[in-house]
Amino acid sequence: MRIYTHRILISAPLQRVADFHADSRALQRLTPPPVFVQMHFVEPVAENSKAEFTLWIGPLPVRWLAVHSNVHTQHGFTDTQLRGPFKHWVHQHSFRAVDEKTTEILDEIRAEPGDHPLWGLVSRFMWLNLPLMFAYRGWVMRRLIQ
């Protein structure tokens, strides 16, 4: 099992950060180009809510179905891949107030690449690009939330 952890401080109150992540458009906003997200079905973030989407990595469509759990309106949630390129993918989003104007966001991903020849390669490529993706996410959140 591989583990990726990313922390970032955002100059915004906890509720503003939580509201941003609860918005169904957050995934599209936080995905760096040239990847394009096509949402097929998305429920508001709640216990056992689901999101189904395609990540277009150039001409390659990567279908994904995730379920949300451990949902707390201010402190975060977990999304687990039910269908997608990884054999196992669990992403925990945690929010913590540092003070009234600052929030720490902690992302922890536990994943295992897929076994399929194509999807295993895709999942490994996606895993290796997590640092770039989270750098982009930090830039976007600072622009949109702060």
Number of structural domains in the chain:
1
SS3 57: strand
CB 134 within 8 A of CB 107: yes
Residue 78: pLDDT above 90? yes
- In the numeric block, the tokens 């895709």 are attached to 122
Could you give the C-alpha distances from 100 to 6, 12, 73, 97, 103, in angstroms and in order?
A: 22, 8, 17, 7, 8
- Model confidence at 120, pLDDT cuts 50, 70, 90, reads very high
Beta-carbon-side half-sphere exposure of residue 139 (alpha carbons within 13 Å): 8
- Residue 57's domain comprises 2-145
CB 143 within 8 A of CB 20: no
Instruction: Find the Cα–Cα–Cα–Cα dihedral 37, 54, 91, 66, rounded to 10°.
Output: 130
Average pLDDT, the chain: 96
SS3 115: coil
Q: How far apart are CA 110 and CA 13, in angstroms?
A: 27
- Residue count (the chain): 146
CATH number where 6 lies: 3.30.530.20
80 beta partners: 67, 90
pTM of the model: 0.94
Q: Which helix (H) or strand (E) holds 52?
A: strand 50-57
pLDDT of residue 106: 98
| Residues above pLDDT 90, as percent of the chain | 96
Beta-carbon-side half-sphere exposure of residue 97 (alpha carbons within 13 Å): 9
- Model confidence at 24, pLDDT cuts 50, 70, 90, reads confident
